[in-house]
Amino acid sequence: MSRVLKDQESTVVRILILAFLTVAIHAGRPAEAGWTITQLTDNSTHDMWPAISGTNVVWYGWDGSDYAVYSNFAGKLANTNFTNLNFLGSAGGPAVSGTNVVWVSYDGHDSQITTNFAGQLTHNNYNNYMAHMPDISGTNVVWVDWFQDSAGLGFDLNSNFAGRLTTNSGMSYDKTTAISGTNVVWQAGGDGIHSNFGAYWGPGYYGRADISGENVAWTYGDAFTNFSGQLTSGGNRMNAAISGTNVAWVEMGGTLETNFGGSVPGFNYYYYMGSMSDPDISGMTIVWNGPDMSGEPDQEIYMATYTSEAVPAPGAVLLAGIGVGLAGWMRRRRAW
């Protein structure tokens, strides 16, 4: 009986050792830290103004009759009724939070703010009125209202959770708003970056600002944040985006840069009818629109994810598991 048990033990050991060696040979090398680039669209029409939340991405794309809202999680979401890229570029791109999406639609007279969870939020009823530049956090939405009074043209900020956030008279403007929770920041003309929670950065023309919690990023020649100060030197930066403390920005005419993974490979600065390769960020994943890599004269949507540490290959994980199991079995065998 003892000999039979020893033969069985010997067979088990041989099997485990063989499995261990087989996996060791095919375990593969660890995935290196760095960027993984994914092209989300591949067609012959323009796709532009992407936004991201987690891994959910939305953008505008041509559907054959007008520019529609598309996503990588639910396909086509809605038609905007915009057929003119100049108007659409002035109106701003869609925004996403989870699976909640907001965009600008056109009713034949005015632009309206529309969502996939609460329908149309604005009901402007006079010609050439623009509700535009929306952003979203949860179900909270902010946008910019264009108006004209006796003093001239102006812009105010509006929302679906606190009503009107700013009140200007003609020839004044607040624009390029962004939201996180109920915290809102906006560009106030040449008067810097304002917020609804008491913070202010200025004066000066600071371009687009973005917010994550109470962390704010913006560009004014260089890239800045309210928690790390000036991130770059030498000027010519634009279109900052932030997620947590991760920041991305565009080097004018050149590269897409970050404060956590350096340059994003495969990025090509591109300007077409108001679309300027604007990035958006969620965690360590960035999206942008750029030239079609196949050489066709259109823009596509790209996504890049940064892995900050080497990740073991699946075979290496299995190898470690087999090794632990074999060592444990051998200890128990000796105890018998």
The CA distance from 282 to 267, in Å, is 17
The CA distance from 313 to 30, in Å, is 5
pLDDT value at residue 167:
78
CA separation, residue 187 to residues 191, 216, 276 (Å): 8, 12, 18
Contact 218, 193 (CB under 8 A): yes
CA triplet 193, 195, 200: central angle to 5 degrees?
50
Structural domain spans, the chain:
2-28+316-335, 34-311
The CA distance from 317 to 199, in Å, is 48
pLDDT value at residue 226:
95
Contact 224, 230 (CB under 8 A): yes
Contact 100, 117 (CB under 8 A): yes
pTM of this prediction exceeds 0.85: no
SS3 state of residue 274: coil
pLDDT value at residue 52:
98
Choose among 105, 117, 121: nearest CA to 67: 105
Contact 58, 77 (CB under 8 A): yes
HSE-CB of 37 using CA atoms within 13 angstroms: 15
Count the neighbouring beta carbons within 10 Å of the beta carbon of residue 7: 10
Count the neighbouring beta carbons within 10 Å of the beta carbon of residue 85: 17
pLDDT tens for the chain, residues 1 to 336: 555 445 555 655 555 555 555 544 554 444 468 999 999 999 999 899 999 999 999 999 999 999 999 999 999 999 999 998 777 767 889 999 999 999 999 988 888 999 999 999 998 765 556 788 999 999 999 999 877 666 566 778 999 999 999 877 555 566 678 999 999 999 886 678 989 999 998 776 566 799 999 999 998 889 999 999 999 998 888 889 999 999 999 987 678 999 999 999 988 766 655 555 679 999 999 999 988 888 888 889 999 999 987 555 555 555 555 555 555 555 555 555
pLDDT value at residue 27:
46
CATH superfamily assigned to domain 34-311: YVTN repeat-like/Quinoprotein amine dehydrogenase (2.130.10.10)
The CA distance from 28 to 6, in Å, is 34
Strands 183-187 and 193-195: antiparallel
The CA distance from 271 to 263, in Å, is 19
Contact 65, 23 (CB under 8 A): no
The CA distance from 61 to 63, in Å, is 6
11, containing H or E segment: helix 2-26
Contact 286, 303 (CB under 8 A): yes
CB within 8 Å of 4: residues ≥ 6 apart? none
Q: What is the dihedral of CA 56, 59, 62, 65, to 10 degrees?
A: 90
Contact 237, 221 (CB under 8 A): yes
